[in-house]
Amino acid sequence: MQNKLKKTYKFAIKTSLYITIFLTLFMSVFLYLSNAVNWEYIIAFFIICYITCFLITQYRVERFIYKRVKKIYDDLTLLESTSLINKPITTDMATLTQEIDKFARDKKLEIETLKVREEYRKEFLGNVSHELKTPLFTVQGYILTLLDGAMKDKKIREKYLNRANKGVERLIYIVKDLDMITKLEVGDLSLKVEEFDIIELVKNVFDLLEMKAAKKKITLTFDMDYQNPINVMADKERIQQVLTNLVVNSIKYGREKGTTEVSIENLIKNKVIVRVTDNGEGIEKVHIPRLFERFYRVDKSGSRKEGGSGLGLAIVKHIIEAHEEKIYIESEPAVGSEFSFTLEKAK
């Protein structure tokens, strides 16, 4: 830390003045009683006494406070307080008190943040363990059953191997999503920004998910008939992934014979907003702030009625933020949900 001393003279000025006035009055009374009053001598004494007291007081205060305050700063250095390390040591106790108070508030906030992160870390590790453990144990169960003798039966062998293969595919799916979200978070995944028609991209997503939606008799539709293309500037492949994840999510939690509707609207001069709306089960407000966390589930029962890695919405959020855009959610239980995100319009 720096050993530079930031001086303050308020204490020395006031203290020297009080001492000088007292000594001058005492001396004046003494001279008066001795019938030897000399005003020039008294004024000279006042000036000399004040200067002497000021210098001595200032020096002693600086040394006294410096030694003790320096120890405080040194102790704070152990806590790596950059806000205090980079400042000169001050003999102004009011300033020091403010700095210590600010330091204490910052540290309290930092500790609270660390506690929240620790809880999040524990929850995240628990979720990862749960997501990986289920397919692993499933695959292990089928393989052990085959090794115990079921392998001799051709029908059972084929059936169990197919089920084990599905478990492995789910593991690969989870690992790939984890790898992608890690790259998005650290900024290692580069975006290939290009101009494309967002209407055409939505139609492609509808075509890919048509059969999945048909199983629940859910209709995939636009809010209107778009006659003209709407060109945007973004990474086409990543935005397709965003749309796919959002539409798949709406199908998973959508009402049977319901509707998933996509709309594209002008937001401002150079922005459009894409909305994906469903009339499914909806989400309670208490869950919305954490909805984009990895593996966060609204259903806390520990079971997953629907497939997926549990990373879909987290990936969506990171892709949109990588484009320096915003994503929003509005939802009402038993009414439905609307996920929307912005994109830059092509010039």
pLDDT at 303: 43
DSSP 255: P
Residue with the bigger pLDDT between 171 and 229: it is: 229
Could you tell me which residues come within 8 angstroms of residue 108 by beta carbon, excluding any fewer than 6 positions away?
none
Residue with the bigger pLDDT between 20 and 122: it is: 20
- Report the C-alpha gap between 283 and 267 in whole angstroms: 25
Cite the beta strand spans of 25-149 per DSSP E: 89-90
pLDDT over 90 percentage in the chain:
21
Average pLDDT over residues 331-335: 87
Whether 148 shows a pLDDT value over 90: the answer reads: no
Average pLDDT over residues 186-206: 88
Q: Are 83 and 103 in contact (CB under 8 A)?
A: yes
The pLDDT-based confidence of 276 (bands split at 50, 70, 90) is very high
According to DSSP, the residues that pair with 268 across neighbouring strands are 271
Residue with the bigger pLDDT between 87 and 52: it is: 52
Residue with the bigger pLDDT between 264 and 188: it is: 264
Q: Give me the numbers of helices (H) and strands (E) for the chain, helices first please.
A: 8, 9
pLDDT at 195: 94
- Report the C-alpha gap between 125 and 138 in whole angstroms: 20
The pLDDT-based confidence of 184 (bands split at 50, 70, 90) is confident
Query: Rounded to whole angstroms, what are the CA distances from 10 to 17, 49, 57, 137?
Result: 11, 17, 11, 74
Whether 309 shows a pLDDT value over 90: the answer reads: no
Tell me the two tokens of residue 303: 């079971």
The pLDDT-based confidence of 106 (bands split at 50, 70, 90) is confident
**Single-letter residue type at 141:** G
Q: What does the angle CA 226 – CA 338 – CA 274 come to, to the nearest 5 degrees?
A: 35
pLDDT at 124: 66
Least confident of 195-199, 283-287, 295-299: 295-299
Whether 209 shows a pLDDT value over 70: the answer reads: yes
Query: Rounded to whole angstroms, what are the CA distances from 4 to 73, 80, 84, 88, 90?
Result: 12, 18, 12, 5, 9
pLDDT at 302: 43
Whether the model pTM is above 0.85: no
Residue with the bigger pLDDT between 36 and 80: it is: 36
Whether 2 shows a pLDDT value over 60: the answer reads: no
Residue 327's φ and ψ, nearest 5 degrees, are -125, 140
Average pLDDT over residues 34-51: 85
- Report the C-alpha gap between 238 and 240 in whole angstroms: 5
